[in-house]
Structure 1
Amino acid sequence: MEQLQQFAPFLLMFVVIYFFMIRPQQKKAKNEKEFETSLKIGDRIVTKSGIHGKIAELAETTVIIETMSGKLKMERSAISLELSAALNKKTA
């Protein structure tokens, strides 16, 4: 019984860390993965570095983005935000 009381604070700390740090990170990673797989040609996007463009081609892990100055090849994970849905909501 005394041993359980000694380890209770450590168990409680682990539970708190799991629910406030580990679980939200896993959820965010899952959402980002779903976002990356849902991309399609023609979507208007913003990269994590702030480049705006439209998806011209898709590959397994890369994407070719058409910008005003030309085409860029980037990793799918570099895409931060998809603007097509947001733009369609504003016009509707």
Structure 2
Amino acid sequence: MAAAADEQASNPILGFLPLVLIFAAMYFLLLRPQRKRQKETANLQKSIAEGDEVVLNSGIYGFVSAVEDEWLWLDIADKVEIRIAKGSVARKVSTNSKPAE
């Protein structure tokens, strides 16, 4: 009878174990990689400087001509300059390699 009482006492703990394992798996498979990507994106946005060649999320390539707090000015063609949000930059293509005009 004592063995049966021990089994019943441990059952509630074993019942929560799968939930704990599911939450741990979700953290390591979903939340940690997402936070890592957010940090990488923030570092990319902070590191953009004039002259960098960048690609936007829309696929537009251009050279950064000016950097403001939340905005970038991008040269995409001769005498064509657009203002974009820093968050729209997907990646840097090169650094300070603007061709001579």
Normalising by structure 2, we get a TM-score of: 0.81
Alpha-carbon distance in 2 for matches of 1:51, 1:74? 11
Q: Which moved more, 1:64-73 or 1:46-55?
A: 64-73
Amino acid at match of 1:76: K
Matched, 1:15 2:27: no
Decide which of 55, 61, 79 is 2:89's aligned counterpart. Answer: 79
Q: Which ranges of structure 2 fall in alignment gaps of 5 or more residues?
A: 1-9
Alpha-carbon distance in 2 for matches of 1:75, 1:17? 32
Decide which of 41, 45, 50 is 2:54's aligned counterpart. Answer: 45
Alpha-carbon distance in 2 for matches of 1:36, 1:48? 13
Amino acid at match of 2:83: K
Pairs aligned (count): 86
Decide which of 69, 73, 94 is 1:64's aligned counterpart. Answer: 73
Secondary structure, counterpart of 1:60 in structure 2: coil
Normalising by structure 1, we get a TM-score of: 0.89
